Structures are given as C-alpha cells and as structure tokens.
Amino acid sequence: MNLQQTGFPNIPPRLAGLGELAENLWWSWNPAARMLFKTMDRQAWKESVHNPDKMLKELPNEILAAAAINPDYLRQYDVVMSRFKKYMATKTCPLLPDMPDPGISRIAYFSAEYGLHRSLPFYAGGLGFLAGDHLKECSDLNVPLVAVGFMYPEGYLLQRIGEDGWQENITEKLQREAAAINKVLNDDGTQLIVKVPLFEPPIYVAVWRVDVGRVPLYLMDTDIELNEPWHRGISARLYTGDPEQRLRQEVVLGIGGAEVLENIGIKRFLLHLNEGHAAFALLEQIRDRINQGLDFEKAMEWVRSTSVFTTHTPVPAGHDVFPFHLMEKYFHSYWPALGLDQDAFQKLGLHPENPEAGFNMTVLALRLSKYRNGVSKKHGEVSRRMWQSLWAELPQGESAIEHITNGVHVPTWIEPKMQLLLNKYLGPGWMADHDNPLVWELIDKIPDEELWKTHYWLKIKLIDAIRERTRLRWAEDRVNPSLVVAGGTLLDPSVLTLGFARRFATYKRADLIFNDLDRLKRMLSDRWRPLQIIFAGKAHPADDPGKRILQRIVNAARDPDMGGRIAFVEDYGERLAQYLVHGVDVWLNTPVPPSEASGTSGMKAAVNGVPQLSVMDGWWIEGFNGKNGWAIDHKEVDANRDQADAAEIYRILEEEIIPLYYKVSEEGVPNEWVRIMKEAIKGAASIFSARRMVKEYVDKFYARALQEVSKS
C-alpha cells in the first residue's frame, strides 16, 4: 500500500529527512529528535503545540534555509537521521526468533482509543495510553504488530470550567492534514475506502495511517461523502452514549477493522483485543476461516487458539451489553455467514448468570479467545471471580484468566532532564536495558543534591506552565478572578505539592481528601510546613455525578478559606499529564478498591522520582514495598469507607509525609525524602515498564498463538 506523504515543499534538500521524521512518531520519544524541531524555532514549536508536521508547514523559508547552513544544526541532524534510519531498517525481533515469516504472521491489535501524543487526540484516558505505550514498546522491541482504530474527527473535547464550577466542553475539530496522519492510497492514487461487509445500507470507511516507529496504526474514518449522514457520524467521537450508534461503532471497529487489514494485504493474523469494544473482529476471523472451508466448530477452535483478549475494568459500566433487537437488526444477515441460526448466534454473547440482559461483548471475547488476561495481579483475581460462571465451559486444563500487569513506555514518560541525570550515573546504555532491575541499583550513586535539584527544577517548570495558562485565561478570555486563583495562580514551588489527575469517574474519589475540611485546611494553611494540591481531569460529558465532584473541587479551589493552595487545572491531556507526573512531589490515588484495575499514572510519576500515596489497589498492591511511597491500607472498611480512608490519608500526611518533606539538611536538601524518591524510581522503572509488559505478552501469549497462525 502506498502512503500519501504530506508534502513539505519548503524544506531545503539538505534537510529533506525532517519531513520523514515529522511523519513518524518516533521523534516523540527521542529527545534528540524533538530538539531538532524545537531548536529550529522555539516560538513556532510552542505555537504548534509540539506538532512538527504543523510547524514545518508554517515555518518561514528563511528559518529553514538558515538551519540548512548552520554547521551545529547539521551535525545534530545527521546524528538523529542516521539513528532513525538504523532503527527503521532493523527487521529481526530477538523475542521471536522462530517466527517463520513475520511478513505473514502478524499480530493485529484492536483498540477503540490510542493515546500517543497531544497532536493526535484519539483517546479518553488510561485505556488509550496503555494502547499507545503498547505500540511504542512493540516498535522498540520490533514485535511484528499492526494496530487498528478510529480517527475521531470531533474527538477532542476541550475542557472549560464555567463561572459556576461546572465542566463545559468545547469540541475541537481535528485538522487531519496538520498532524502525522497520512492517507492510505490505492494504486490509482485515490484514498483507500473499505466497505464494511454485510451491512445494508453499506458503511464505508476511509483509511489513514499513523507511523508509530516501526508499528503502523490504521485509522478508520466514516466522515466521508460516500456515507449517509447517520453513518458519517459513527466515528465522530469516542464512546457515544446512544446504544445503537455505539453498536454501529463497534461493528465498524471489529468487522470493518478486520476488512481493512484484509485490504492492505494482512490476511492471517493473531488477534489482540484491547478491551471488548472490538470483539466482533473475532466473528470476522471465524467467517474468514469458514470461507476457507472449515466448519463453525473448527473455525471457532482456530480463532480461540490465535486470539488474545485483555479486559481492563471490573466496573460494570465498562462492559458493553447490547439489546437483542439491535443485534438482530444489524446481524440478521451475518449469522448465516457463520453457519449459525439466530439462537446459536445470540448465545455467543449470553452471560450464563444473566441471559436476559443482552449481548455482552466481554462474554463474547472471553468465549472466543484462549488467551485472556486482567491488567494486574489483583485484577486477574477479581476478573476470574467476576466471570466465573463462564469457566465451566472451558476445555480441561485451560486457565481461566491470567494477569499481565500494565506498564508505561519509559522513553515517553521520563523527563529529558531526568534522563540526562540517569545517563550520567547509570551509564549511557541504561535505556537499552531498562527492564533489568539491576540497572536501577545504580540510582543510589546519584548524589541527593543532584536528584533534588533536578526534581525542583521540574516542579518550577510545572508551576510556571500552570501560571502561564491562568494568565492567558485572565488576559485573553477575561475569566472571573476567582477562577484565575482556582486555576493555580497562587501555587508556590517551595510548598509540598500533591498531584491528583485522572478521569473524574466517581469510583476514583477525587474529592476524598475534602472529607474533613477543617483538618485539611489546617495542613494547607500551616505557616511553616504548608501543603498544596493540584487537581486535573475530565468527567465524561454524560457523567453528571463525576461533574459534581469536579465542581466541588473547583469551588474549594476558589474558596478564600483554602488560601489558594488548591488548584484545578483545566483540560487534562497528555501534555498536562507530562508536566504533572514530572513535577509534583507526591502522586495521590484514591479509588474504591478493587475498582482500579491497574492505574498507570502513578507508574509515570514513580519513574520520575515522584512517590505515590495510594489506596492498596491495582498495581500498587504489587508495587508498594514499604520504602517507595505510602499505602492507604487499614482494616476498617464497609459502611464508612470514605471517612476511614480519608482519616488514614490525613494521618500519613501529618505523621510521615509532611515532617519528612520539610526535614532538610544545612544544604537545603531533604535527604530522607530523596531516599524515598530513589526507591520510587527503583521500584517502578523496570517492573512497571511497558518493556517488561510487552515481553510478558510475547512469552505468555504471542509466541504460542503465532505458532498456531503459521501452522494453518
């Protein structure tokens, strides 16, 4: 398949590679590549919101021409380009030495969202970033993977807080041409358009591609003229609330996605479903086998032994269940193609304990994939219990559901200045070997003062960025002064700073720390050892309870009684997440257990030396070792869980965190605190890396399932 590479007619020939570099997200996790764009014109880099595609197109020719004759710039350029070329040319995957033909046996990864970079807004939250980090790590390890998802042309909801503290959403239209997204072309130069099979009236998708290093991500877009208006809206935005449109979305994702792969020549593949939204792809795999001459049972067996399903949440609303009448409406011509009648078809999605409820996508995925996992040890246990009525159906000896704990892509989430410090003490080769725990023992060699200075610099950078945002809201949008304060104007870098940023789902209990206001206020307003808290996060547009929690926090942030020590920063996304996980002192996490399947933001913080104060849930049950942060873990539960958890947070803050943080040496370094920072890095950077995670997927699932794919 050809790609229509965005043209950069203004780039001088000596720097021709810049265009290629801008079109591959590899630059986003390689600081030297980022610097090539940034140093060319800092202001333009900032204005493009770190989007080199956009920046290069808008740069005046003089700037490009000047760079093309600047010897320093050219030296940097040549080094980066040679590294990029070498990276892209590597063909072997050391983890899969026996792979017969990587060209044929591929892993097809399906996800409804991808969090890759601020310039590609195809995500809502953690699920998306997990998927994005998975792709980046598969690229780094050269695991032969292709990914499929949606382009959401109206996907990005800019968050604004109104006068009343209520969340408002402004839809930002995606500029498809000004990002690292390219059209996939037919031989005649037109864009590849794929018809989703078996649906009347037909649904068409236009196909785009994002290059994530060596991993291609194909994005489907229904917003094209060929489709009738209702169809055009299918991919407009993530997770629509209307059940029928949502079903149509999942039909396009699973069935359309498989058809897209077929059209670009990827015919046989191992399927990895990141959550159940794309589970219809399993049906399409069965249909394909049946077309090859197998009967339903044999086809199903083949599909089971070549499919991986990762479930991501124990929260019931996270599992789609569709009414039977809608299933009938969209699938009545599909089940004959599988050789099934209506009853046998609907049964595939029935939950044995609740067969009336409808067609359950998680149940479908669990039934039709042999390799199943939760995303932390605890979540594995919870999922085994949650779906236990299904296990009676399993063949002897097959394990019900395993766990592979999530991890984060270290090159993406580690701050460049921190990376430089690590280069100095861990040796320049540490990144290549970063999932080896021994590498991280060398952290102890870093002088406390150096780590502290680096952290403090990042904290100032965070607070500067927040103040700059509020300054612009004040100067340009003339917002109410109390919102300027609430946005973080009075934040002070010398004050102990907690960070809480994530989606405002109610189970995450963003407002837990407000449980005893007087006790909290005492800590915030302490003359000598004060505390401040930075909040950020979006509520789903249809989630009013989530918005009420958010409003409560904004109103607290505006309340003069809080002294400006509470901030709510608008529009949480990848960019703000980077600032926060690099720059706060403590990362706060307060879900109602066991609702947090894994959680990943705390890992991002820990890798940068920011320890967690977290409820014992998700990854923290595996990650906490008594030295690398704090656990909210006590015996009182049930009736007054919120109150008991909040009291424990206050106790830990008052007795442990605050005294330790403010206990500084004569040189102004809190040595005991820095010890915890070092332990936080050591305890997370190898084990909770996406590298460890992807290797586990390869060992436990991919290697075995790929054998099955290649046998057939």
Ligand X SMILES: *Cc1c(COP(=O)(O)O)cnc(C)c1O
Q: Which residues bind ligand X (CB under 6 A)?
A: 125-126, 129, 502, 572-574, 577, 599-602, 604
Least Å distance between CB 501 and ligand X? 7
Least Å distance between CB 319 and ligand X? 18
Neighbours of 344 (CB within 10 A): 12
Q: Which of 91, 43, 45, 41 is nearest to 66 (CA)?
A: 41
Q: Provide the token pair at 651.
A: 């106790």
Q: Which of 292, 264, 160, 289 is nearest to 205 (CA)?
A: 264
Least Å distance between CB 451 and ligand X? 23
- Backbone region of residue 644 per phi and psi (left: phi > 0; alpha: psi in -120 to 50; beta: other values): alpha
CA–chain centroid gap for 305, Å, is 27
For 234-391, list the strands marked E by DSSP.
269-274, 307-310, 321-322, 359-360, 371-374
The residues near 603 (Cβ < 8 Å, ≥ 6 apart) are 406, 407, 408, 413, 619, 623, 684, 688
Least Å distance between CB 142 and ligand X? 25
Q: Which of 292, 628, 584 is nearest to 461 (CA)?
A: 584
Neighbours of 321 (CB within 10 A): 17
Nearer CB in complex with ligand X: 11/606: 606
Nearer CB in complex with ligand X: 182/689: 689
Least Å distance between CB 87 and ligand X? 24
Nearer CB in complex with ligand X: 248/604: 604
Nearer CB in complex with ligand X: 511/708: 511
217 DSSP β-pair partners: 147, 210
Nearer CB in complex with ligand X: 165/599: 599
Mutual angle of helices 296-305 and 703-711, in 10-degree steps: 140
Least Å distance between CB 441 and ligand X? 27
Nearer CB in complex with ligand X: 359/504: 504
Cα gap 353→340, rounded to integer Å: 23
Cα gap 296→118, rounded to integer Å: 44
For 317-440, list the strands marked E by DSSP.
321-322, 359-360, 371-374, 402-403
Nearer CB in complex with ligand X: 80/536: 536
Nearer CB in complex with ligand X: 416/573: 573
Nearer CB in complex with ligand X: 159/249: 159
Q: Provide the token pair at 648.
A: 């424990």
Cα gap 93→103, rounded to integer Å: 12
Least Å distance between CB 140 and ligand X? 18
Q: Provide the token pair at 496.
A: 């102990």
Least Å distance between CB 598 and ligand X? 7
Cα gap 218→252, rounded to integer Å: 13
Least Å distance between CB 536 and ligand X? 9
Least Å distance between CB 37 and ligand X? 22
Nearer CB in complex with ligand X: 44/179: 179
Q: Which of 141, 139, 179 is nearest to 48 (CA)?
A: 179
